[in-house]
Amino acid sequence: MTAARSPVSAQLVEWTSDQLRARLGEALTVYVTAMRYPMSTVQQRAPMWLSHMLRPGWRCTAAVGADGSLLGIGYGYLGAPGQWWHEQVRRGLVSVRGTGAAREWMSDYFELTELHVRPDAQGNRIGENVLRRLLDGVPAGRVLLSTPEGPTKAWRLYRRVGFEDLLRDYLFAGDPRPFAVLGRTLPLPSDESGH
């Protein structure tokens, strides 16, 4: 018989870029642990996260535990031509779904750039709560994201809140793993479970 895990409670807070900068090492550790990247990735990703903070519409939501530790983090910004991810996804959409689909999805959207929960805190709706708080009031008609292919808790979350497939098994430059690009209209549906 296995012992039941106690639920982990988290306080959701919106962070400014200064607040994320102050805890960037901790946030990147959550990211690499959740994504199963080597710890050396922290140093590689730090400049990218810092540059993302300067983009129009950037916002960040953190989930902080009772002891002050970071349990989860999510951030994104308004997507626009010229951004690396935008250009990669637009190219994929044009090749698979045509220019009309690319034009429809790649205008007026918020790029959900990062959403990660520390593995020992997963399964407590922290990711969904961060996602909902982060996207609440976003000034865009759609949200897009990319996530590694495979059956994960992240996939179950994105399906539960209505994300649809835009691209599957897509290879981004610099990562050998296949990714899916998902999207949905905003706002998100209300949380029917009462959370």
pLDDT of residue 4: 44
**Is the pLDDT confidence value at 70 over 50?**
yes
Of the CA atoms within 13 Å of residue 91, those in its CB half-sphere come to: 11
pLDDT of residue 175: 82
Give the torsion sign (CA, 180, 162, 5, 20).
positive
Cβ 25 vs Cβ 42: under 8 Å: yes
Neighbours of 131 (CB within 10 A): 23
77 catalytic? Reply is no
- Give phi and psi for 30, each to the nearest 5: -60, -45
**pLDDT tens digit sequence for 117-176:** 999 999 899 999 999 999 999 999 999 999 999 888 899 999 999 999 999 999 998 888
Would you list the DSSP string of 19-63? HHHHTHHHHHHHHHHHHT--TTHHHHHHHHHHHHTTSTT-EEEEE
- Out of 31, 77, 158, 170, the active site residue is 158
Average pLDDT over residues 81-108: 96
pLDDT of residue 81: 97
Q: Give the confidence band of 189 by pLDDT, cuts at 50, 70, 90.
A: confident
Give the torsion sign (CA, 43, 31, 138, 167).
positive
Give the torsion sign (CA, 145, 150, 156, 162).
positive
Q: Structural domains in the chain?
A: 11-185 (3.40.630.30)
pLDDT of residue 79: 98
Higher pLDDT, 3 or 57: 57
**Is the pLDDT confidence value at 179 over 70?**
yes
